[in-house]
Amino acid sequence: MRALVLAALLSMPTVTVAQTVAEQLNDYPTAARADYVFACMVTNGQSREMLDRCACSIDEIAAILPYEKYLEAETVLSMRRVGGERMSFFQSAAMAENMVAELRRAQAEAEIVCF
């Protein structure tokens, strides 16, 4: 039985398994992480220490919030900045509020850990 299990494990493509695990742990695109770090550094100071803290922050957020939910919340926040009658949904809808609240909670946790 052990030989059969071992043979099955060895026949599995390890790159695919490793890629799947890496994708689950790092589902944020590099550009999204970089955008967050740049904005964080503009807000908090452009030093090496802030680079490390801001990178830590987005890593913590990514560990808490899947990229899809992060993107949804960022979209709501972006639409709120546009304003206007058509965008009023993003100001008051419970669904939009929940999306932003999840992001804010993840950011607060990241701030505790990294700053």
Closest CA to 66 of 23, 12, 114: 23
* Mean pLDDT rounded to a whole number for the chain: 84
Residue 14's nearest CA partner among 2, 22, 26 is 22
- The pLDDT of residue 6: 44
The pTM for the full model equals 0.74
77-82, long-range: CB < 8 A, 24+ apart: 77/103
Reported as a pLDDT band with limits 50, 70 and 90, residue 50 is: very high
d(CA 9, CA 11): 5
Are 64 and 30 within 8 A, CB to CB?
no
- 63-112 pLDDT, tens digit per residue, is 999 999 999 999 999 888 887 776 666 667 888 899 999 999 999 999 99
Q: By the 8 A CB rule, do 60 and 113 touch? A: yes
